[in-house]
Amino acid sequence: MEKLLEEFSLGLFVWQSLAFVILLFLLKKYAWKPILDAVNEREQGIRSALESAEKAKRDLENLQSDNEKLLKEAHIERDAMLKEARDMKNKMIEEAKEEARTEASKLMQQAQQAIITEKQTAIADLKSQVALLSIDIAQKVLQAELSNDNKQELYVESLLKDAKIN
Amino acid sequence: MYRVNKYSVLLALFLGFTSSLSASTDAPQGDKKAEIKAYIAHHLLDSYDFSLTSYTDDQGQHHYIGFPLPVILWDDGLKIFSSSKFHHGESVAEVGGNYYAIDHNKIYKTDAEGTIKYDDQNHATNIKPLDFSLTKSVFMILVTCTLMFFLFRGLARSYGSNKGIAQGAGRFFEPIVLYIRDEIAIPNIGEKHYRRYMSYLLTIFFFIWFLNIFGLTPFGVNVTGNIAITFSLALLTFLITNFTGNKNYWKHIFWMPGVPVPMKIILAPIELLGVFIKPFSLLIRLYANMQAGHIVLMSLIGLMFIFKSWLGSTLSFGLAFAISLIEVLVALLQAYIFTMLSALYFGFAVEEHHDEAH
């Protein structure tokens, strides 16, 4: 202990304390503060960069899932549209067929009607023609039959005979 | 590359020590032991000039290689003169009518012949002027301060010029700065208060580390193995701890919570003593470690010259080499321990109150 005290140099102590305190303040101002600030800033930068990268990744994932959803929806919609179109086509064909069928039957009916009418007209015509012809023939027969007076009287007689007064 | 550099530094260290020890290889064996002992003792002390090596020429004349440093005394006015006036303690310096001589590495006021009177305990009784000389240690401190200032200002500037990424030597020091922040300051002091102490912790760590490393160079400046230096450093830790201590800290010293009243009374003086013992242990630990390291290393190197046989010298060389490797580690370790314990004490000083009993 005595040796230590003897070794102790006041001058050295004063110089050391002075130099160290000055160094401390100089370094604090010109070195440690800027260094620690820069390091902190850099660490903050790295942290925020990592965070934004993470966020970008998440966004991208969201976007991808959105895309997938959209694609799926589009698929469903397309399928629906295709189905609808197919249905419509079938329906149209069906309808057309139906219409054609009814039209045809209607035409048939009309034709039958027309045929019947024509037939009746033809029959009526034929009847009148036959009547006229019969009358003509009868006239001619009568003319020939009744060309002399004898025959006329005979005929009138026969008629009168038939025509009994009731 | 780095490894090679490290070894070449170590090699230079040995060459430096050995060259300064080989001053007079033809002296008798007994003298040699005494000489080595004196050399080690001398090396451990501060000195008024910066000597790199010395040798004895053919005429038995001692020559020193190095440069003198200014001596600053307060003795009825400021006296500043070059330490070359002492001729390495061999002559009396005359300044403005006063005479000064060096005895056991201290400057005393003497008469023209340089007589130094001793009391019965072999202590010099001459007047000791107030000595503020720029000694070898002060010189090394100033060199270290300058080096640190430019080194770390350079690192700070490189952030600005390189978009927040360190350049050059800063790339080596930046992880250490971050280590001190993340592994020493934050765990010991806490996230909330550590910023206030960062400057001190960083400065003290690099200051001790650099001076320890300089102590291993052939210049052999044993700065951190000097009690005045470690006292100054420990005093700063002590002052900062107690001036930044909060209510909780003082309460733990004088009125320990969570123990019965008689215990509180017994604990108070013990805790109060602890306030002084903590920095005192810092002071002694650093001093003793560096001092012991230098003594061991230099003794082993000295052995090479005592053995003077290829076997003994080779063995002591190997041993000295191993020890100096350990010393490189110790240099770092002591700086770490000093910083770590300072941070721990600061942590006690600013610890927030918590309800869990101790």
Q: Does ipTM top 0.85? A: no
Q: For residue A22, which residues of chain B lie inside 8 Å, CB to CB? A: 145
pLDDT bucket at B8, cuts 50 / 70 / 90:
low
Name beta bridge partners: B74.
B78, B130
pLDDT bucket at B27, cuts 50 / 70 / 90:
very low
**Best mean pLDDT range from A63-67, B32-36, B93-97, B258-262:** A63-67
CA B134 to chain centre: 15
pLDDT of res. B337: 94
Q: Which two tokens stand for residue A120?
A: 């009746």
pLDDT of res. B358: 47
CA B249 to chain centre: 31
A18 shares contact with chain B (CB less than 8 Å): no
A60 Cα to chain B: minimum distance (Å): 30
Residue B12, pLDDT above cutoff 70: no
Of the listed ranges A82-91, B169-178, B201-210, the least confidently predicted one is: B169-178
State the Cα angle at B157 between B152 and B161, rounded to 5°: 150
Instruction: Name the H helices within B190-260.
Output: 194-215, 227-244, 247-254
pLDDT of res. B276: 92
pLDDT in tens, B66-117: 888 888 888 777 888 888 878 777 777 777 777 888 877 778 888 777 777 7
Are B194 and B185 contacting, i.e. CB atoms less than 8 angstroms apart?
yes
Residue B14, pLDDT above cutoff 60: no
pLDDT in tens, A12-22: 899 899 999 99
Q: Which long-range contacts (CB under 8 A, 24 or more apart) does A95-99 make?
A: none
Name beta bridge partners: B339.
none
- Of residues A11, A14, A38, nearest to B164 (C-beta): A38
Name beta bridge partners: B55.
B63
Q: For residue B228, which residues of chain A lie inside 8 Å, CB to CB? A: 7-10, 12-13, 16
pLDDT in tens, A63-77: 999 999 999 999 999
State the Cα angle at B149 between B192 and B187, rounded to 5°: 25
The answer for residues whose C-beta is within 8 angstroms of residue B278's C-beta and 6 or more apart is B238, B241, B341, B345
pLDDT of res. B7: 53
The mean pLDDT value for B120-132 works out to 78
pLDDT of res. B18: 47
A36 shares contact with chain B (CB less than 8 Å): yes
A32 shares contact with chain B (CB less than 8 Å): yes
Question: Which one, of B206, B157, B108, B263, lies nearest residue A37 by Cα?
Answer: B157
Is B149–A30 a contact, with Cβ atoms under 8 angstroms apart?
yes
Question: Which one, of B155, B153, B154, B135, lies nearest residue B143 by Cα?
Answer: B135
Q: For residue A48, which residues of chain B lie inside 8 Å, CB to CB? A: none
**pTM value surpassing 0.80:** no
pLDDT in tens, B318-333: 898 999 899 999 999 9
Angle, helices B194-215/B227-244, rounded to nearest 10 degrees: 170
Interface of B with A in 27-86 (CB under 8 A): 45-46, 72
Number of domains chain A is built from:
1
Is A20–B203 a contact, with Cβ atoms under 8 angstroms apart?
yes
Angle, helices B247-254/B261-307, rounded to nearest 10 degrees: 90
Q: Domain containing A148: what range?
A: 2-165
Is A31–B153 a contact, with Cβ atoms under 8 angstroms apart?
yes
Is A12–B231 a contact, with Cβ atoms under 8 angstroms apart?
no
Q: Determine the Cα–Cα distance for residues B21 and B19; give it in Å rounded to an integer.
A: 5
Residue A46, pLDDT above cutoff 80: yes
What is the total residue count of chain A?
Answer: 166
CA B37 to chain centre: 21
Q: Determine the Cα–Cα distance for residues A160 and B301; give it in Å rounded to an integer.
A: 193
pLDDT of res. B220: 66
B198 shares contact with chain A (CB less than 8 Å): yes
Q: Determine the Cα–Cα distance for residues B346 and A57; give it in Å rounded to an integer.
A: 44
Of the listed ranges A75-84, A151-160, B279-288, the least confidently predicted one is: A151-160
Q: What percent of chain B has pLDDT over 90?
A: 27
Q: Determine the Cα–Cα distance for residues A84 and B317; give it in Å rounded to an integer.
A: 100
- Of residues A20, A23, A36, nearest to B149 (C-beta): A23
Q: Does B274 or B84 have the greater pLDDT score?
A: B274
Q: What is chain A's alpha carbon radius of gyration, rounded to the nearest angstrom? A: 66
The answer for residues whose C-beta is within 8 angstroms of residue B104's C-beta and 6 or more apart is B124
pLDDT of res. A165: 67
Of the listed ranges A150-154, B156-160, B230-234, B322-326, the least confidently predicted one is: A150-154
**Phi-psi domain of B141 (left: phi exceeds 0; alpha: psi -120 through 50; beta: other):** alpha
* Mean pLDDT of the residues in chain A: 88
Q: Determine the Cα–Cα distance for residues B207 and B183; give it in Å rounded to an integer.
A: 19
Q: Determine the Cα–Cα distance for residues B173 and A35; give it in Å rounded to an integer.
A: 11
